[in-house]
Amino acid sequence: KAGVTQTPRYLIKTRGQQVTLSCSPISGHRSVSWYQQTPGQGLQFLFEYFSETQRNKGNFPGRFSGRQFSNSRSEMNVSTLELGDSALYLCASSFTDRDQETQYFGPGTRLLVL
Amino acid sequence: AQSVTQLDSHVSVSEGTPVLLRCNYSSSYSPSLFWYVQHPNKGLQLLLKYTSAATLVKGINGFEAEFKKSETSFHLTKPSAHMSDAAEYFCVVSLFSGGYNKLIFGAGTRLAVHP
Kindly report the backbone phi and psi dihedral angles of residue A83, in degrees, each rounded to the nearest multiple of 5, phi listed first.
Answer: -55, -35
Task: Please judge whether B100 and A48 are an interchain contact, meaning their C-beta atoms are less than 8 angstroms apart.
Answer: yes
Interface of A with B (CB under 8 A): 4, 6, 33, 42-43, 45, 48, 50, 55-56, 90, 92, 94, 96, 98, 100-108, 110
Contact (CB, 8 A) for B93 and B4: yes
pLDDT exceeds cutoff 90 at A1: no
Amino acid at B92: V
Residue A98: the pLDDT is: 62
Identify any residues that bridge with B10 across adjacent strands, giving them in sequence order.
Answer: B110
Residue pLDDT, tens place only, B98-108: 667 778 899 99
For residues A67 and B57, give the distance between their C-alpha atoms in angstroms, rounded to a whole number.
36
Task: Please judge whether B100 and A92 are an interchain contact, meaning their C-beta atoms are less than 8 angstroms apart.
Answer: no
Residue B104: the pLDDT is: 87
In which region does residue A62 sit, left (phi positive, over 0), alpha (psi from -120 to 50) or beta (all else)?
A: alpha
CA angle A3, A96, A61 (to 5 degrees): 75
Residue pLDDT, tens place only, A8-42: 999 999 999 999 999 999 999 999 999 999 988 88
